[in-house]
Amino acid sequence: MSFEFIPPEILPFRDLEGATIAWLVVIYLLTAVIRGALGFGAIAPAIVFSSLLVEPHHAILLGLVTGSLCQFQIFPFGLRHGDWAVAKPMFIAGFLAIAAGVFIFKSLEAGWLTICLGVAMAGIVVLDHYQVMERLAQRIDIRSLPAAFGLSIAAGLIAGIAGGGGMYLYSVYLKYACPTPNALRGTSILLGAIFIYWRFIAAAIMGLISLRLLIESALLVPPSVIGAWAGIHFFRRADSKRFYGAFQAVLFFGAAILMWKGLRQVL
């Protein structure tokens, strides 16, 4: 099929082969299953594995815009059940750190960005698997303003540069600060949505969001919605510990491949 009637500057995935586009659709479908089953965690693996197929800046921006579009599905829950008193201390530091992270992201060459992405995702998996932040929370008051401020800066920089993974650090604070499971989920969604929209705004201000990128991301929304639906209906009752363990292993494997790919580019 010819698409010559579409201006080349807005033709989606114009530089990719059909097989690569199909793999992108599969990646977004499968990673959305994770969000449906666990309630979070779709953007990070989508970025990691799509970075193996396309240039890392493109992969991260695809994850950002697609994630922003998909947030409309769950954002109302965050607005209703999120605890604004808990979320407020995270906002100022998070906004500044995300803006700085997006600026660094824009400045990095592809090889170094690939390495940073792999290191960030692998580091998050290790911290999460060995519960490093939870052990740290037993030694300091994680609910104090300095601790919340520091976590928000670290998470914002990671999210701004790598495109995802920041909520893993935010979740440590939220586990201790939110009084109920419903408030925890609602506040997580509230923070995640507001921060991803802010990242979108920061990226747009820096000239990183194009019409072609918006079209490409819109095409990835349907498989993301289908994957989330499948996760909710078929995997929510699965053994959550095993499911999450498998998710960590797959994400770490993808991050390790990214680090190797980045090192080959810069050496």
Which residue from 228, 232, 231 is spatially nearest to 66, judged by alpha carbons? 228
Q: Which two tokens stand for residue 231?
A: 């996760």
User: Are the C-beta atoms of residues 190 and 178 closer than 8 Å to each other?
Assistant: no
Which residue from 256, 225, 266 is spatially nearest to 48, judged by alpha carbons? 256
Tell me, yes or no, whether 3 lies in a domain: no
pLDDT band at residue 6 using 50, 70 and 90 as cut-offs: low
Which DSSP category does 234 fall into?
I
Tell me, yes or no, whether 131 lies in a domain: yes
Of 44-58, 113-127, 130-144, 236-250, least confident by mean pLDDT is 236-250
Tell me, yes or no, whether 4 lies in a domain: no
Q: Which two tokens stand for residue 147?
A: 């601790």
Q: Print the domain residue range for 148.
A: 18-266
In this prediction, residue 66 carries a pLDDT of 95
In this prediction, residue 145 carries a pLDDT of 78
Tell me, yes or no, whether 213 lies in a domain: yes
Tell me, yes or no, whether 8 lies in a domain: no
What is the residue whose two structure tokens read 């600060």?
Answer: 177
**What is the number of domains present in the chain?**
1
Tell me, yes or no, whether 254 lies in a domain: yes
Q: Which residues contact 25 (CB under 8 A, 6 or more apart)?
A: 220, 223
pLDDT above 80 for 73: no
pLDDT above 60 for 5: no
Q: Which two tokens stand for residue 114?
A: 């690939």
In this prediction, residue 40 carries a pLDDT of 63
- Top mean pLDDT of 55-59, 73-77, 132-136, 192-196 is at 55-59
Q: Which two tokens stand for residue 154?
A: 């670290």
pLDDT band at residue 4 using 50, 70 and 90 as cut-offs: low
Tell me, yes or no, whether 12 lies in a domain: no
pLDDT above 90 for 189: no
Helix axes 43-50, 110-129, angle to 10 degrees: 140
In this prediction, residue 236 carries a pLDDT of 57
pLDDT above 80 for 93: yes
In this prediction, residue 170 carries a pLDDT of 81
Tell me, yes or no, whether 10 lies in a domain: no
